[in-house]
A and B are shown apart, each in its own frame.
Chain A
Amino acid sequence: MRYFFYVIAVLFAATPLVSKAQGWEEQNVFVSEAPKRVLRVISSTDTSFFAPIIESFLTENPDTSVEYLVTSTALLNAEFRQNADAYDVVISSAMDLQLKLTNDGFAQKVTGLSQPEWAEWRQSLFAFTTEPAAIVINRKAFEGRRVPQTRQDLILALRARPDIFRGRIGTYDVRSSGLGYLFATQDARISETYWRLMEVMGGLETKLYCCSVDMIDDLADGTIAVAYNVLGGYADARPETSDALQIILPSDFPTTMMRTMFVSRTTKHPEQARDFLRHVIALQSGTVDRDVFPLPPLISEQDEIRQSTIGLGPALLTYLDVLKRDTFIKEWVSAIIQE
């Protein structure tokens, strides 16, 4: 028996605080049985991924409703910095932005969790997924040909058939996507190959996207043949597209990010906010039920993926430095847009 129901609120009507900002990508309220309060969760993850998690939370906490607001990582960061007291829980895939928010004192400690120390920072910022950046291709484009396994392979593949790929490559616009910027800077830090790839992609009129979803959509319908540095999980999540697409984790180095969340220091419902965070963490530990937790959970064993995971530490502040950012973006722009 369903004891809750979805309510699609009219934008700008339910929450006056949002009125000054841009529009949310998604906005849903999950109402519980006997709500005493509403938890406002601001996130960059699609609602479809989080719905089962929230539902299971409401089952255990019938006196709390959850309002789930989705926006892009960069906007999320800006919005939260402006109105920290309006939100209780912050979830984002931009580890660097999340870390800076925690460093700047926007998060509060949540105790009682036994996360491995590389999956949390200051017991305030908690990682709960492991998601590598992948190269996703449209199978048709590589029919009969060797599928590139590394970045180097991709460079060669692109150079080999420039006409096929001209205008049919997609990647994040690092100027507007926090996650994209993160992936790009981590890539560049690791290998020289990244810049060469960017130059090659720049010469082939690469399309720039703000979000993974759009990239996957275009990939699925053939608008683009290759998407670089996209979250494989998104492609995986859509059964109808999985046949058409192939997810490749670059074997030279799969840059892996962890989705992170924290409880706002100025939350008005600290108890319930912390409970929500604990609930999410609990779901992804042990044997994970994919129906309840659709995202790829934290990998605890030491393997290649684990070693290539971006580290949660103050080093993430480096590329958020305005000078360095300016420098990087200048270079990136000159590589990918002007040749």
Chain B
Amino acid sequence: MQRLRKSRGLTLKQVEAQAKVSNAYISQIERGLRKPPHPDILKRLAKTYDVPHRELLVVAGYLEEDSETIATRRKIEEAFEHVKTDPKFKQGTRLKGTHVSLETKRFIVEMYEKLTQRNLLKEGA
């Protein structure tokens, strides 16, 4: 949670103002001193951090990712690692913040596939 907040360039006070959740409480959640917050609070935090509500529910343990989602995530992560280490493929981005979402990784892998005529996501890296 802390990494997510910092990647958005937000301070605890800013999150408090936007999500209407006390900054002391957020700090305690980030340090693992509190149980996962109520799904309603997670919904407000998801809007503030601009991530899908479902993603935070999974992290908090309210929902379980199905095996297909886990497999897709792993496939994209592996393919992205392959793309980053291919010396023939040069790439760069202009990002808002420092967080690289799974969606962005998928986009980069798809661009790699387009240029190299390979199909990493189907055939595996």
Q: Do A and B bind each other?
A: no
Chain A interface (Cβ < 8 Å from any Cβ of B): none
